[in-house]
Structure 1
Amino acid sequence: MSKETSTWLNTHVLIGFTDKRGHAWHYRADHQGTEPNHYPGPIPITEVKRRLFGWSAEPARVFVEDRFGLRLAEHHLGVTTSDTGDLLAIHTDEYGIHQYSTWLLDNVAALLDDGLAIGSAGLLRERKQAWVSVEIPDNITTPEGVQFRPNLLACSSHDASLKTRYKRVVTNVVCDNTMNLSLREDGQEVAIVHKRNSALHLLSAREALQIVHTVADDFAAEVKKLCQTTVTDRAWKAFLDAHTPIPTEPGRGRTNAANKRAALTRLWTSDSRVSPWKNTGWGVVQAVNTHLNHEALIRGAGRAERNMTRVMTGELAKHDRTAAATLHKVLATV
């Protein structure tokens, strides 16, 4: 992680409930700036508005300049920041701006019950993306020893890289990883396209998401099922062959595959974030998720930024589901 990326993460990302979860893994004390970005309890909504959302995205006219001079680009819309004038994106005039403060704070407050508070919030990609995570105050520990925090994650963008989404996820406390709520794809999020006059229908969104209080039981049931799934050493090797096959031809691909298999096996056998659940289905999912979050090769972005982007786009959830589906296929044949 470059110092610039670390400084951004430690000033433009706010982490709450550190008395329950500890510091975020990207925490660097010397990159905190004048105000710490970690809070022992919930993050006050006033802090999120002041430190992250104290500006707005403003529409701007777009011009083109060529040998015919300077002309207005009709049917196009620029998006700029109200405080610095930075250009965030250029869209067609059908694009609808979703202000972070409205869509990630006000709408979420209307969706949720009392007893929930902001657990994390942040800006990424030079403020082109943002998220707010709402959580219950206490960690939950399953009988199998898996400690987690249920979340409702709200995220959006100004560069069309993300729809505005409200989704149920969990934070796995032992590794500070975000994980998909379940291996199902249905009913886990509500997405709104950035179009003029787009709106969130609160009642239908609430019914679809079933809100954060239902996350604990659903996730705990998934953990129990996976922990009761036995994965022998032979099945683990078969899983590696299916999940990360080694190419027959020598080269970078073969080397990368061998390195990934070695890293997954080390997590499986001797890493405290995974090894307590060795020889179970949960151990398999945990090994794959932890490797992707903390050890997989990253190109073109910092690890923390890439991890959060994967969560917001749903890519991480697909990885979890794919790993579990591969495991079930392997167990049916071994």
Structure 2
Amino acid sequence: MKIAVLPGDGIGPEVTREAVRVLEMLGLPGLTLFDGDVGGIAYKRHGQPLPEETLTIAHACDAVLFGAVGDPECDGLERKLRPEQAILGLRKHLGLFANLRPARVFAGLEHLSPLKPEIARTLDVMIVRELTGDIYFGDKGERAASDGSREGWDMMSYCETEVQRIARVAFRTARSRDCRVCSVDKANVLETSQVWRDTVKAAAGSHPDIELSHMYVDNAAMQIISNPAQFGVILTGNLFGDILSDLASAAVGSIGLLPSASMGDRATEFGRFGLYEPIHGSAPDIAGQGKANPMATILSAAMMLRHSFGREADAVRIETAVERALADGIRGGDLGGDHGTEEIGAAVRERL
């Protein structure tokens, strides 16, 4: 079991360290960890946010455990050298086209959600977001408008093949939940979305056990807030998925609790190759102070064991340990508590 550990910047090394300690405590057979630099620290050491040696490590492993990237000292660099390019580069080079982001409210934390408690406790959704297409990766540029002013343009597109492969991921994911998939698009306005909807419908024909529905993105945003219980798996494109997943995470009450997985089609000896990371950023304002909540990274490690190594029982053990720590009042500053990074990590390990 070979895992590339890429801590990155800011609080990344702190939260990743606690997740690694949890993995080591499980006594997993053949576990080998390989460290690499990404982000701002990689630029400072190697002149690139994603050095070749880091890519080599990632390619040689079965999964990647990622921390966070972002360094204010690098904000003035040209875009291709900024820390954030590391995660985009990893997605591209590793073929990671599917992002899985679960969002649910933990028992006892309903009061932290901006939603009413009776609504918040029904939120338990998995957002499956296409990760390498759409407007983010389409042609873009700047030109002069007819009146001589600046005009920016970006091209949104999806081909059937791209939609088919992300739909398969959503259907496969739904089978481990409640077999419901809601495909979100804007087919009443966008041709790209019409192709998306038509392709998802066709793909669903090979998955008769899945209950498929469709929803426009503006309505989906409202429904996630007003009636989240109706959703099992939300399938959507890159742009809409970016927005809706952040909306769902805000409804949970803290991004310090939310893990994610980015996956592709590459098979490993154990399962599917994936990159696992917390959804929060590098938080440079608290870096090195031991204040960061490592639970999202620990839960990301649980997702890694489930999806890339087929170790469901170990994944559940970690998730249960986190739930019990929260129930026992172990909470970081993001949850209104005063427990530090190492203290939270130790509490989770105690409950294993």
Classify the TM-score, shorter chain: under 0.3
Please say which structure displays the higher CA radius of gyration: 1
The alignment's TM-score, normalised by the length of structure 2, stands at 0.26
The alignment's TM-score, normalised by the length of structure 1, stands at 0.28
Higher relative contact order (CA 8 A, sep 6+): 2
